[in-house]
Amino acid sequence: MSEAAISEQVVLELANVESAYGPIRAIRGVSLKVLRGQIATVLGSNGAGKTTILKTISGIIDPRKGQVHFRGRDITAQDPALIVQQGLSHVPEGREVFPLLSVRDNLLMGAYTRSDRDGVARDIESVFDYFPILRERAAQDAGLLSGGQQQMLAISRALMAQPELILLDEPSLGLSPKLTKEIFEIVVRINRERGTTILLVEQNANMALNASDYGYVLENGRIVMEDSCDRLREKDDIREFYLGMKDAGVRGERRWKKKKNWR
Ligand SMILES: Nc1ncnc2c1ncn2[C@@H]1O[C@H](COP(=O)(O)OP(=O)(O)OP(=O)(O)O)[C@@H](O)[C@H]1O
Ligand SMILES: [Mg+2]
């Protein structure tokens, strides 16, 4: 692909983004690209800065340095509501559904910028097709759903805005392996069937690498590695530190070293 063709395909681009909480520099010069129709992932352990990246993209945090471009437009530090209107939805860490509203009303909240009532009704049916349990619980308070069901609702609520890009913050958090697998399968279906571009951040490297096309590894606020997920899965460092595989063979002693050397 030529450079022009690639830039045409770039839905989201971060250039040298730095965000901080007071004196704590949570992300330090992060650059990444997400291509149209892709699932991209940022892998990183506790406190690496994954949530901070997503909050910076969706305008919840203003970066100290760098730019965020969405569909070719500079959205750096814009109002979060404006960013949603441009087609970028954020499914936050810990789901954050409205516990005292019904499942259906939570979905309607996701569509609050839309005025096409018939379209909204159709989209509610279409998210119920992805997550049939939500149809059964449509009238129930969202706070009574299980953690996994709340995750399904949070993803569905984001879909109700008909986004071009969804930011997904650790959908596996607190869920059983079985439920995590189910949710990831549906995320992949949403991507394939609707063409929705997805940026997923995860500690669960195994699930994320299997679901995604391209991956970045984040450590202490910095991207230390990036590649296609097929290639990342084969790297010894990833297998050892993120996939928990100790079959790194002759290099097995590496895990005793304090400092990792990424390559
Ligand atoms: N509101 C805050 N005030 C101060 N420091 C914060 C705040 N939120 C995050 N941090 C710090 O910023 C760094 C990055 O945090 P962040 O939440 O982005 O990490 P994360 O990769 O999402 O971690 P996790 O996997 O645990 O969710 C951490 O050192 C964290 O302690
Ligand atoms: Mg987080």
Q: How confident is the model at residue 242 (pLDDT cuts 50, 70, 90)?
A: confident
Q: How confident is the model at residue 5 (pLDDT cuts 50, 70, 90)?
A: low
| Amino acid letter, 76 | T
Atom of ligand 1 nearest to the CA of 45: 25
Kindly give, in sequence order, each residue whose CB lies less than 8 Å from that of residue 182, ignoring residues fewer than 6 positions away: 148
Between helices 117-130 and 147-159, what is the axis angle to 10°? Answer: 140
Q: How confident is the model at residue 50 (pLDDT cuts 50, 70, 90)?
A: very high
Whole-number average pLDDT of the chain = 91
| Amino acid letter, 26 | A
Residue 218 has pLDDT above 50, yes or no: yes
pLDDT at 257: 39
Instruction: Give yes or no for a contact between 168 and 200, defined as CB atoms under 8 angstroms apart.
Output: yes
Q: Is the CB of 174 under 6 A from ligand 1?
A: no
Q: How confident is the model at residue 254 (pLDDT cuts 50, 70, 90)?
A: very low
Q: Using one digit for the tens of pLDDT, what is the confidence trace for 134-149?
A: 999 999 999 999 999 9
Tokens of 136: 């059964």
Q: Which residues surround ligand 2, an ion (CB under 5 A)?
A: 50-51, 93
- The stretch 34-54 carries a mean pLDDT of 96
What residue ranges do the domains of the chain occupy?
A: 3-245
pLDDT at 238: 82
Element (H, E) at 9: helix 3-9
pLDDT at 98: 96
Comparing 2-6, 32-36, 189-193, 231-235, the range with the smallest average pLDDT is: 2-6
6 alpha carbon, distance to own chain's centre: 22
Nearest alpha carbon to residue 148 among 165, 160, 126, 133? 133
Looking at ligand 1, which residue's alpha carbon is closest to its atom 29? 47
Ligand 1 pocket, mutate which of 45, 52, 56, 200 (most atoms under 8 A from CB): 52
Comparing 51-60, 111-120, 220-229, 248-257, the range with the smallest average pLDDT is: 248-257
Element (H, E) at 214: strand 214-219
Question: What is the 8-class DSSP label of residue 109?
Answer: H
Residue 246 has pLDDT above 80, yes or no: no
Residue 192 has pLDDT above 70, yes or no: yes
- 3-245 belongs to CATH 3.40.50.300: yes
Determine the distance separating the centroid of ligand 1 and the alpha carbon of 225, expressed in angstroms. Answer: 20
What is the spatial distance between Cα 171 and Cα 178, in angstroms, rounded to a whole number?
Answer: 13
